[in-house]
């Protein structure tokens, strides 16, 4: 068993970032929260409906934060290595 894939971009000193996975999970959480909030409001379960609205807002904020971190990392990488490396 290898600790890392052969062609992995990360190294033991600088591991590969999990921001893409976090972005996918936040998007999934946002979609599911919206769907469940609509279902809860349709069944007149207001407490759970507002709870899912709150979870959806947290997921939306997380989406924005992750995207800002990804773009900052991309800018930093281009600044250090040039745009074509």
In sequence order, the 6+-apart residues with CB closer than 8 A to the CB of 35 are none
The whole-number pLDDT of residue 8 equals: 60
Is residue 52 within 8 Å of 29, Cβ to Cβ?
A: no
The whole-number pLDDT of residue 17 equals: 75
- Residues shown for the chain: 85
The whole-number pLDDT of residue 46 equals: 96
Mean pLDDT for back-to-back runs of 10 residues, the chain (85 residues): 59 74 94 97 97 97 94 78 59
The whole-number pLDDT of residue 84 equals: 59
Q: Is the pTM of this model over 0.75?
A: no
């Amino acid at each position: 068993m290898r600790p890392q894939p052969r062609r992995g971009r990360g190294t033991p000193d600088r591991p590969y970032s999990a921001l893409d996975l976090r972005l996918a999970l936040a998007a999934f959480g946002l979609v599911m929260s919206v769907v469940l909030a609509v279902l809860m409001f349709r069944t007149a379960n207001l407490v759970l409906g507002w709870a899912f609205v709150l979870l959806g807002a947290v997921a939306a904020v997380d989406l924005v934060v992750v995207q800002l971190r990804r773009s900052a990392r991309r800018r930093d990488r281009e600044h250090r290595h040039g745009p074509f490396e």
